[in-house]
Amino acid sequence: MNESQSDRIASVSTARKASAFLPLKLDRYPRGELRTSCNPDEEIFAALSFYCDVEEAGKRLVSSLTGFEGKQCDDTYDLFQAFIRQGYTFFSSARQLHHRASPLFYYYAFLNLAKAFISLRKPDVFAQPLKHGLTQKYESGDAFDSQRVAVVEPGVFPELYELLTDQKLPRGCSFRIVDLLSYLTDISFEYQDAGFGTPVILPVRSRLLFSQKSEPSSDMWPCLALGNAGKLLKREYSLSKFLESFDEISLGKNECERIFGIMAHDQPTYRFFQSKKIYRVENERSELPALHEDARAAIKLLFMPNVFSDEEDFHFALPLAEKPSLKMDEFIAGYLIFFYLGSLVRYHPYYLERILRSKEAWIIQRFATSYATTILRHASIYLLGQNRVLSAR
């Protein structure tokens, strides 16, 4: 045990005693699990196509999000419909292509889905042609680990980022491709095995704990279990905002299993946190809405939805060390990587071939062949306003 670990353990508080607990939903968009006999790609585009093919439903969606009526609503609906259909065309075409070419078509698919999302919030930006908002910083002699994409305003990506995160990207902002790969859960094993570093996604389980004080009165507070806790070593900076509202606690083995379903042999891989503030339930009055609002604000920079059916409620995506105040997650990182690879396909195929003869080949091939569906799952959350977790029947 090193000095920083012993200091942390010494500062850990004892957990409050809870008499009961409930699941705690902190997702911005409602999350539900659905079983399907279809491929997830088909299911997602079928749901999106409903709003394109059933005009009444599509215009109702546009009106609910924008407040537009009449011709303004019709024009915005036409934009949304065109972008969704273009996105589907590029996505379905990419499925048939070799991984040397598919990233370009996948990028154009997600570019159009991003435009569809923007069109339902800021349709006026499309009054003039809107560029990508990204550029590839390419030098032929550069190693792969120095490759970057840079943000250029105005453009689709900076508009998308601001709408998703409520943050405006700083001028001249750029991202290393190797850093972005650390956010991709589907290839986290390959990323680490290839020696690029440690992935930055932590699984999180959340519970609402209660302590009854009297017959009509109870205290309640949120409690979170963060998995893969070893990833936090040297990344404690990423929890600074979160720790303004939460304290780290120690939790006994029995309580750990009872509340979170975490067995004793897995407990050392988790770290546990409870809110500093205690909320009240008394007769008909409840501070539950305030609890949800405060908890969501505390985890906003870190929160990433879980798009798969497993025991984790959501994930923490740790911000980059060089940009600790900027939100980054799997969807944003995947979008940027598809732009980068699409640029290589289009403008620098010889450099792409060089990569595909190096140790990066495994990562790039796995990303290009398997990752599009995961990013599509994330994109569908923002377009449908629901996290439809799809799994096979």
Residue 269 has what DSSP assignment?
G
What pLDDT shows up at residue 88? Answer: 97
CB neighbour burial string for 284-309, b if at least 16 within 10 angstroms, e if fewer = eeebeeebbebbeebbbbbbbbbbee
Residue found by looking up tokens 């407990």 in the block: 267
> 134-137 and 201-214: which strand pairing?
unpaired
Sign of CA dihedral 88, 90, 93, 94: negative
| Residues 347, 163 contacting (CB under 8 angstroms) | no
What pLDDT shows up at residue 214? Answer: 78
Contacts of 250 (CB under 8 A, 6+ apart): 12, 13, 14, 15, 272
Which helix (H) or strand (E) covers residue 202, if one does? strand 201-214
Q: Which of 124, 47, 158 is nearest to 383 (CA)?
A: 47
The reply to whether the predicted model has a pTM over 0.95 is no
- Residue 196 — very low, low, confident or very high, per pLDDT cuts 50/70/90? confident
The burial class, CB within 10 Å (0-12 / 13-18 / 19+), for 245 is middle
Segment 278-337, tens digit of pLDDT: 999 887 778 999 999 999 999 999 999 999 998 899 999 999 988 889 999 999 999 999
What pLDDT shows up at residue 8? Answer: 52
What pLDDT shows up at residue 314? Answer: 97
What pLDDT shows up at residue 282? Answer: 84
53 three-class SS = helix
Segment 232-282, tens digit of pLDDT: 888 888 999 999 999 999 999 999 999 999 999 999 999 999 999 999 988
Segment 20-78, tens digit of pLDDT: 999 999 999 999 999 998 899 999 999 999 999 999 999 998 898 888 999 999 999 99
| Mean pLDDT, rounded, of the chain | 91
As a whole number of angstroms, the distance between CA 182 and CA 99 comes to 20
Mean pLDDT within 141-151: 86
Percent of the chain with pLDDT over 90: 70
Alpha-helical runs (H) found in the chain: 3-11, 40-53, 55-66, 70-94, 102-119, 156-165, 177-181, 188-193, 253-260, 288-299, 330-347, 349-355, 361-370, 372-384
Name beta bridge partners: 337.
none
Name beta bridge partners: 220.
210, 279
CA distance from start to end of the chain? 46
- Residue 224 — very low, low, confident or very high, per pLDDT cuts 50/70/90? very high
**Greater confidence, 5 or 199?**
199
- Residue 342 — very low, low, confident or very high, per pLDDT cuts 50/70/90? very high
> 246-250 and 13-14: which strand pairing?
parallel
Please check the confidence at residue 360 and state whether its pLDDT lies above 90.
Answer: no
Segment 70-99, tens digit of pLDDT: 999 999 999 999 999 999 999 999 999 988
Q: Which of 291, 286, 300, 181 is nearest to 239 (CA)?
A: 300
What pLDDT shows up at residue 6? Answer: 45
As a whole number of angstroms, the distance between CA 226 and CA 208 comes to 15
| Residues 339, 149 contacting (CB under 8 angstroms) | yes
Please check the confidence at residue 9 and state whether its pLDDT lies above 70.
Answer: no
Residue 38 has what DSSP assignment?
S
Highest mean pLDDT among 4-8, 9-13, 33-37, 113-117: 113-117
